Amino acid sequence: MNTRIFLLFGILFLSLLLPGTALAADQSEGIDTGDTAWMLVASAFVLLMTPGLAFFYGGLVRRKNILSVLMQCFMCMCLMTILWVLVGYSLAFGDDMLGGLMGNFKYVGLKGVGYEARGTIPHVLFMMFQGMFAIITPALILGAFAERMKFGAFCLFMALWLLLVYCPVCHWVWGGAKGFFGLGGKGALDFAGGTVVHINAGVAALAAAFVLGKRQGYPDKISPPHNLPFAALGAALLWFGWFGFNAGSALASNASAANAFVGTHVATATAGLTWAIIDRIFTGKATMLGMITGAVAGLVAITPACGYVTPMGAIGVGFGASVCAYFAIAVIKKRIGYDDSLDVFGVHGVAGMWGAVAAGLWATSVVPGNDTNGLFYGNPSQVGIQVQAVIYTTIYSFVISFVLLKIIDVIVGVRTDENSERMGLDLTDHAENAYTILE
């Protein structure tokens, strides 16, 4: 344990020796104060999504594991931030390395990332806005292995996954990658993270479910969600924060951001309503769990498309999101038999795939800031480009995530022991209880 502590502080000390952001007296040329103000707010919105995710996931697990979920989410907020600042941003947005697989070390330690304009906002603000995405994306995965992964293995996997999976895919789509890996250069549409965030995390979650196996007693002896009000609160915070996630991806306070904002809300409302109707048809009752699950699926699906589709197109995106995610959870999951604890693959992976393809259906040049049309506006080839982006991301994320988990399992073991799983990770991993009964 002492060796680990010294290693940690050694790494932190070495990080202080890295060349940092160069200060300058005045680098305001080209910076728009209105755009900067909006992006500061949008960045805060996106950060709020991770605590929102903590409550959403925490309410859905058993009461003996809620703190472990909250702890994992907050660890992502801390650990991913440091990794992003030290090297992650450079791997995502540096110049091509390894044939465009990822960025180089141009910005390591934020070297060259100062207050000069990137677009119309300070470069350092662009870096931090993107860093908020790097925080929540790994956190999404934890829902697949909730209640059964060792905390140490979790930290190791998340750190490696950020650097070896998230950063490369981010580089392909938003970082200017050229050649085979350059999805953005091929014309793939991903306004706010359908491939980079949701397909990437959802497929990694599926790999994790296969590697870790099923929870004890799954599926017949697993208790229902212990606190649906917490889950509903988390979903509400996600919905709120998603406006920064999507509208902020315009990187300006303009008409494109306004369109993304409206489309996000319309698609989410449509998806929540659709899931409630599906629930009523197949089970006879519209449920709270179903409605918030549908809303999150709608948020996921509209993410890649929000900068390219009109509000009417967003209705189609939201409707399809609930239909696809419901089918994935109710049919595919049961047929294959994997234990994705909180349906990360069904909601984020499948709805993300649908959203990426839907962008190729409803994209229209009528939308401000977009000059690409989709199938319904006379450009069927865009669907093929979107499918290609989905396939690239799916294969890469699944293979690398699976291999990382297998390696970590050999080194430290990924799954907690039977006794710890039975007692709950709150107590065995963190020596805490979420609920104290007073005598």
Alpha-carbon span 194 to 232, nearest angstrom:
23
Beta pairing partners, 118: 121
Six-digit token string for 258: 């306004």
Q: What string of DSSP letters covers 98-112?
A: GGGTEE-STTGGGTT
pLDDT in the model for residue 27 = 66
- Distance CA(320)–CA(313), nearest Å, equals 11
3-state secondary structure of 395: helix
CATH topology of domain 30-427: Ammonium transporter fold (1.10.3430)
Burial label, 388 (beta-carbon count in 10 A; 0-12, 13-18, 19+): middle
Q: Look up residue 431 and give its two tokens.
A: 């020596």
pTM listed for this prediction:
0.93
Domain boundaries, the chain: 30-427
Identify the sign of the CA torsion 74, 80, 81, 82: positive
Cα distances (Å, whole numbers) of residue 376 to 16, 124, 312, 358: 53, 39, 12, 10
Burial of 112 (0-12, 13-18, 19+ CB in 10 A): middle
Q: How many residues does the chain have?
A: 439
Dihedral of CA 124/129/134/139: which sign? positive
pLDDT of residue 13: 53
Q: Which residue has the tokens 């580089």?
A: 171
One pLDDT digit (tens) per residue for the chain, 439 residues: 445 554 555 555 555 555 554 444 456 789 999 999 999 999 999 999 999 999 999 999 999 999 999 999 999 999 999 999 999 999 999 999 999 999 999 999 999 999 999 999 999 999 999 999 999 999 999 999 999 999 999 999 999 999 999 999 999 999 999 988 889 889 999 999 999 999 999 999 999 999 999 999 998 888 899 999 999 999 999 999 999 999 999 999 999 999 999 999 999 999 999 999 999 999 999 999 999 999 999 999 999 999 999 999 999 999 999 999 999 999 999 999 999 999 999 999 999 999 999 999 999 999 999 999 999 999 999 999 999 999 999 999 999 999 999 999 999 999 999 999 999 999 999 999 999 865 4
pLDDT of amino acid 5: 53
Alpha-carbon distances of 91 from 85, 97, 404, rounded to whole Å: 11, 9, 18
Name which of 429, 229, 415, 227 is nearest 339 in CA terms. 415
